[in-house]
Structure 1
């Protein structure tokens, strides 16, 4: 057998190591190309000649807050001073008999709220409140939940103005799966009407309107839980 000179053998070994991905002489490392990326496509308006609907401009002064009547002002905008049950009871007095709209409530629920804290009370529909700075003013707002029949729920948010007056900046009644707080957002999960899906609505503070508004809605598939035998 003919033996290669040492210099020639070393040169062949070095050449083999330089072949990309052709030998195990070393880890090639670095980034590898994944092929050509698809061309990004921006939104294209369909039927551009069609005259679309117009959005009415927002009122210059925003939406006036709904002040809660019959409660003493709080100090330094501290909503922690307010009892959540007394807050809802004050609204019931101001909107007695309302069954529709933001203040709408079934009579049996209204009667149960009026009885909260008395011997006649079996279960108070006003849930434990939560507190969070939702308006980015450095002061907490109070989030109140009221249980209604058939898994329905009234979710309300109240804030205090510089004079200490309580005003409601959010009120919605939904068939609620669950309610979440994320940052400065109140998030409601409700049935979407499509089996296997739920509707998620995000409520956020709008400085112009001076109220919480539904700023985002999305329908998501509900992950299937473990099957029981």
Structure 2
């Protein structure tokens, strides 16, 4: 049996060598030789301009980050924000004091009047239906609310419950193309003054600041969608896996 096994191994090795030679002979029109694709462009590293200038130590304008507020008069049983009345939340929010002197999206007086009159004039109430998503990663839902402003912009607000109290962790207004929930992010898209482009801002929870912060802010070519109307739609689908969007951008950016 041993001689037979040795013969078999030799035959197999010879067959593999023959097949390999055939394949090599048939590769390419130049007998398998590599051909140059031409000279590669020279890599150019980044060059710092005006290195003598001192770096800035503060932003030129307030972007609204960290402008949180405890909502007075609202208790959240079992920290379940789904049990809350969205209109009552926004009405109570009108009395809230932000953690910073600026940065919250102050609502126009006419919008405030319509919010106050939501019970008696529900058809004119600017508070949109809420959406729910665990944006803070604590294992329970937060509330995402939209308020249609009288100036055509949309105020996007996020509220979280903790220890039976309610805190606003995001408030920003802008002319909105769309607002989306993606994972634990709020993605906002707004028009740009540059023709054919739009802003896209991603807001994410920051556990150190205890607020939703703009973690990505970019300008992109417009997608092929219908142009936004002056007012965002008031009737989104009830429980979105992905809702509509818009970037929260301050006036100084555009």
Matched, 1:114 2:116: yes
CA apart distance, 1:198: 0.8
Aligned counterpart in structure 2 of residue 74 of structure 1, from 63, 77, 87: 77
Tell me what 1:142 maps to: 143
Report the 3-state secondary structure (helix = DSSP H, G, I; strand = E; otherwise coil) of the residue aligned with 1:134. coil
Tell me what 2:152 maps to: 151
CA distance 1:106–1:51, shift in 2 (3 Å) = closer
| In structure 2, C-alpha distance between the alignment counterparts of 1:166 and 1:72, rounded to whole Å | 7
Structure 2 unaligned residues grouped into runs of 5+: 1-20, 60-64, 227-254
CA apart distance, 1:65: 4.2
Q: Which has the higher contact order (CA 8 A, sep 6+)?
A: 2
Tell me what 1:190 maps to: 190
Larger Rg: 1
Tell me what 1:123 maps to: 124
CA distance 1:223–1:68, shift in 2 (3 Å) = closer
Tell me what 2:25 maps to: 18
| In structure 2, C-alpha distance between the alignment counterparts of 1:215 and 1:81, rounded to whole Å | 30
| In structure 1, C-alpha distance between the alignment counterparts of 2:198 and 2:22, rounded to whole Å | 61
> Per-residue displacement from partner, 1:57-109 (whole Å, max 9, x unpaired)?
xxxxx95841100112331x2111111111001122447xxxx9625222222
Asked if the contact 2:197–2:219 (Cα under 8 Å) also holds between the matched residues in 1, the reply is: yes
CA apart distance, 1:47: 3.6
* TM-score of the aligned structures, taking structure 1 as reference length: 0.72
Asked if the contact 1:69–1:91 (Cα under 8 Å) also holds between the matched residues in 2, the reply is: yes
| In structure 2, C-alpha distance between the alignment counterparts of 1:112 and 1:181, rounded to whole Å | 27
Tell me what 1:3 maps to: none
Tell me what 1:172 maps to: 172
